[in-house]
Amino acid sequence: MRAAVLAEFGAPDAFRIAEVPTPVRINAEVLVKVAAAGVNPIDAKTRAGKGVADAVTSLPCILGYDFAGVVVEIPFAGHPLNVGDEVFGMMSTPRGEGSYAEYVSVPSLQVTRTPKTLSLIEAGAVPLAALTAWGLVVDLAKAHEGQRMLITGASGGVGHFAVQFASYFGVRVAATASARNQAWLRELGASTVLDYDLTGWEDQLSDLDVVVDLVGNTVDDTGRRALTTLRPGGLMVNAPTGSWPTLDEEAAEAGVRATTFKVAPDAATLAVVARLIDSGDVRVHIDKTFPLADIAAAHASLESGHTRGKLVLQIGELPF
Ligand SMILES: NC(=O)c1ccc[n+]([C@@H]2O[C@H](COP(=O)([O-])OP(=O)(O)OC[C@H]3O[C@@H](n4cnc5c(N)ncnc54)[C@H](OP(=O)(O)O)[C@@H]3O)[C@@H](O)[C@H]2O)c1
């Protein structure tokens, strides 16, 4: 099969398109012919030798968490998925090869049917970002009617799902983004959108119940500034976990609670997300699609830090 292979850690042009062995399906795995793979910041961090690079046991390797495609082999006749089903899910990269490849063999609990209303390209953008947003907003923050929540970095892959999940559950959402994304985030359900380029944006918010922090302290002390918007006992949930090693101490000093978070593959939650997409309550926004051969451009674009919604790699030829 064809795959984007990383022979050594480095810049976006470190990938090579190469022929590699197709994975052999074992145990309860499902073999999927991949149509599309979402591109996520963790892929870029790992490619550069950070992220989860320490867990890459040998190079060359194949990165990529998100996939959408068509089932080509099932583990047993009565399996709930059938050959030909359109499915999506999340890999456990780098415990095994990732989804920047024409085929993945994936455990049954990590794969489910795609939303009926999405193309495979759109579905490929959903898994890791939506599972992260669900974990932060629903599982950790317990989103509910009347809750007041700030989401920083709201216009990116995770953020645009987080805004929609929170507003679906009746949360009053404030968001930070640049000026060009303000109207769009209001359409997605944010009631207040603050331009992060304006000095003192954090002074316009107070006594919030939750901050979902998708920026951390990598830029402009965003996380630290967002902390000041919480009520006593409020909750800060932080996704860019490496950016803020003193989070616990600073939260305790401010009289608020804090936790980091790590996303995990979860087909059951993805099936719930698929229903919200099919009912029209949640949408996925694709900023740009790249052919697999242009993976360097996709990673460079992601690293610009200003993706609206998601970037996707198209892997198979369409129609599939
Ligand atoms: N712990 C986990 O399990 C986990 C899982 C997923 C993601 N993450 C981390 O969470 C972070 C967000 O992920 P993502 O996929 O959503 O990233 P992304 O899609 O690359 O985020 C891009 C967005 O960030 C916005 N942005 C840039 N600088 C900003 C600032 N100073 N303030 C507010 N917004 C800003 C941009 O908005 P503008 O274009 O308007 O500037 C853009 O829309 C990443 O660090 C990622 O590694 C962690």
Please check whether residues 187 and 308 belong to one and the same domain: no
242/295 same-domain check: no
Task: Provide the domain count of the chain.
Answer: 2
CATH classification at residue 16: 3.90.180.10
> In terms of domains, do 133 and 108 share one?
no
Using CA of residue 61, residue 307, residue 269, residue 132, what is the dihedral sign? positive
The answer to whether residues 15 and 78 belong to one domain is yes
For residues 217 and 309, membership in a common domain is answered with no
Domain assignment of residue 152, yes or no: yes
Regarding whether 67 and 36 lie in a shared domain, the answer is yes
- Ligand 1 pocket, Cβ-based, cut-off 6 angstroms: 40-42, 129, 132, 152-153, 155-159, 176-178, 181, 196, 214-215, 219-220, 222, 239-241, 261-263, 302, 305-308
Query: Does residue 7 share a domain with residue 115?
Result: yes
What pLDDT, on the 0 to 100 scale, is given for residue 316? 85
Q: How far is the CA of 164 from the centre of ligand 1 (A)?
A: 16
What range does the domain containing 113 cover? 2-126+284-314
- The answer to the question of residue 268 being in a domain is no
Cα 40 to ligand 1 centroid, rounded to whole Å: 10
In terms of domains, do 188 and 304 share one? no
Cβ contact 128:189 at 8 Å: no
Q: Is residue 299 part of a domain?
A: yes
Domain identity same for 63 and 81:
yes
Question: Which of helix, strand or coil describes residue 301?
Answer: helix
CATH code (residue 171): 3.40.50.720
Q: Which two tokens stand for residue 68?
A: 């959408």
Q: Is residue 139 part of a domain?
A: yes
In this structure, the answer to whether residues 110 and 140 fall within a common structural domain is no
- Answer whether residue 252 is part of any domain: yes
pLDDT of the chain, 320 residues: tens digit per residue? 999 999 999 999 999 999 999 999 999 999 999 999 999 999 999 999 999 999 999 999 999 999 999 999 999 999 999 999 999 999 999 999 999 999 999 999 999 999 999 999 999 999 999 999 999 999 999 999 999 999 999 999 999 999 999 999 999 999 999 999 999 999 999 999 999 999 999 999 999 999 999 999 989 999 999 999 999 999 999 999 888 999 999 999 999 999 999 999 999 999 999 999 999 999 999 999 999 999 999 999 999 999 999 999 999 887 66
In a shared domain, residues 135 and 255: yes
In which element (H, E) is residue 267 found? Answer: helix 267-278
Give the closest residue (by CA) to ligand 1 atom 48: 239
pTM greater than 0.75? yes
Instruction: Assess if residue 266 is contained within a domain.
Output: no
Cα(214) to centroid of ligand 1, in Å? 5
Quick check: is 207 in a domain? yes
In a domain, 43, yes or no: yes
Verify that 113 and 138 share a domain, yes or no.
Answer: no
> What pLDDT score does 175 carry?
98
pLDDT of residue 319: 65
Q: DSSP string covering 114-167, please?
A: PPTTS-HHHHHTSHHHHHHHHIIIIIIT---TT-EEEEETTTSHHHHHHHHHHH
Q: What spacing in Å lies between the alpha carbon of 300 and ligand 1's midpoint? A: 15
